Amino acid sequence: MLGAEVGHKSAHRIERRIRNSGLVERKTLEAFDWDFQPTLDKDFILELARLDFVRRHDDVIITGKPGTGKSHILKACGLSACEQRIALRYARCVDLLDDLHVGLADGTYPSRLRAWVRPALLIIDDVGLGQVRKRGDEPTAAHTLYNLIDRRHGHSSTAITSNIDLSHWGRYLGDAVVTAAILDRLAMHAIRIDVDGPSYRQRVAADRATKRKKSKEPTETPEPEQP
């Protein structure tokens, strides 16, 4: 095979991997404004994106207020995983739970659970955002998540972002005792990053408002000359 053809096939494979992973937005760390978030250790995050933690089967938890770049960092890690041929699945926490709960209702739970257990890297985005639904006698979100984390723990990496403190997960997931068991597996050994800084979303909104204001301001036009 010619070099160009090999390159083309490999790019095609990476593209398919990204599409199948559930990663919709393609974020990179090259596009990250480090000066905006000075509490973040740039070298540490760049090292994280090299994904040695996946090879070590370590977990990652990134906490912090909304808009601080938590999802951006993990999405960039996800993209890097696809490029490195590491099997990835990405989902927001509520979507993952919904998927498993659909499986409980229609008998496809075992195969759905296997699909979430299998990938070398699973990114669970936004724990704490969105309504975790509980219907009838279904297990709580805490139970569902526990089943998944327990199967993955020690065999594969799970990387999580959360906008709420870990001490509030119990209330969010609907069972404090089971959540403690999740955190016992995850948080005790996970790489922990807390982003304590401003929201990039608010900055973008402020920039837009400034631009709008400027465009509305009357531009200085010279007085028409008197005939």
Ligand X SMILES: Nc1ncnc2c1ncn2[C@@H]1O[C@H](COP(=O)(O)OP(=O)(O)O)[C@@H](O)[C@H]1O
> By the criterion CB under 5 A, which residues form the site for Mg ion?
71, 126
Q: Is 109 in the site for ligand X (CB under 6 A)?
A: no
b/e sequence 158-178, b meaning 16+ C-beta within 10 Å: bbbbbbeebeebbebbbbeeb
User: Taking CB under 6 A as the rule, does residue 200 contact ligand X?
Assistant: yes
Cβ of residue 66: shortest distance to ligand X, in angstroms? 4
Q: 129-158 mask for ligand X (x: CB under 6 A)?
A: ------------------------------
* Interacting residues of 170 by C-beta distance below 8 A, sequence separation 6+: 142, 176, 177, 179, 180
Q: Which is nearer to ligand X, 33 or 196 (CB)?
A: 33
Least Cβ distance, residue 206 to ligand X (angstroms): 13
Structural contact between residues 155 and 57, judged by C-beta atoms closer than 8 angstroms:
yes
Task: Choose between 32 and 146: whose C-beta lies nearer to ligand X.
Answer: 32
- If one counts every other C-beta atom within 10 angstroms of the C-beta of residue 50, the result is 12
Residue 18's contacts (CB-CB under 8 Å, 6 or more residues apart) are: 26, 79, 82
Q: Which amino acid is at 76?
A: A
For residue 78, state whether it binds ligand X (rule: CB under 6 A): no
**Coil, helix or strand for 160?**
strand
Write out the two tokens for 42: 């740039």
Does the footprint of ligand X cover residue 37 (CB under 6 A)? yes
Scanning 7-15, 62-70, 78-86, 130-138 for contacts with ligand X by CB under 6 A, the matching segment is 62-70
162 is a contact residue toward ligand X (CB under 6 A): no
Q: From start to end of 1-133, where are the E strands? A: 60-64, 88-92, 121-127
If the CB atoms of residues 89 and 178 are measured against Mg ion, the closer one turns out to be 89
User: Counting contacts by CB under 6 A, is residue 92 touching ligand X?
Assistant: no
Q: What is the DSSP letter of 96?
A: H
- The tokens of 208 are what? 């837009």
* 26 near ligand X, rule: CB under 6 A: no
In whole angstroms, the minimum distance from the beta carbon of 92 to Mg ion comes to 8
In whole angstroms, the minimum distance from the beta carbon of 1 to ligand X comes to: 37
Can you give the binding site for ligand X, defined by CB under 6 A? Answer: 27, 31-33, 36-37, 64, 66-72, 161, 200-201
